[in-house]
Amino acid sequence: MKEIARILILGGGALLVIGLIVYFLGDRLKGFGNLPGDIRIERPGFNFYMPITSMLLLSVILSFVIWLARKLF
């Protein structure tokens, strides 16, 4: 049970940190969803958005953070 509690505490802390980053740096992160490679189709009555490049970048960053956490802990 202690292992599950530890995972929940770390997950909650991570969500808190992400929320604070978005809250305080939200104005500076506007270009994140508009990177080259993000697909956006806007037509009358139809909107489609697929953030391919943004999600790849986010995946690389999160993978690095998880790798670093495993090395340190």
pLDDT for the residue numbered 50? 92
pLDDT for the residue numbered 35? 85
Asked if pLDDT for residue 20 goes beyond 80, the answer is yes
Asked if pLDDT for residue 19 goes beyond 80, the answer is yes
Q: Which amino acid appears at position 69 of this protein?
A: A
pTM above 0.85, yes or no: no
For 37, the 3-state DSSP assignment is coil
Q: 41-53: per-residue pLDDT in tens?
A: 999 999 999 999 9
Mean pLDDT rounded to a whole number for the chain: 87
- Give the 3-state secondary structure percentages of the chain, helix then strand then coil, rounded to 5: 75, 15, 10
Phi, psi of 17 (to 5 degrees): -65, -45
pLDDT for the residue numbered 46? 95
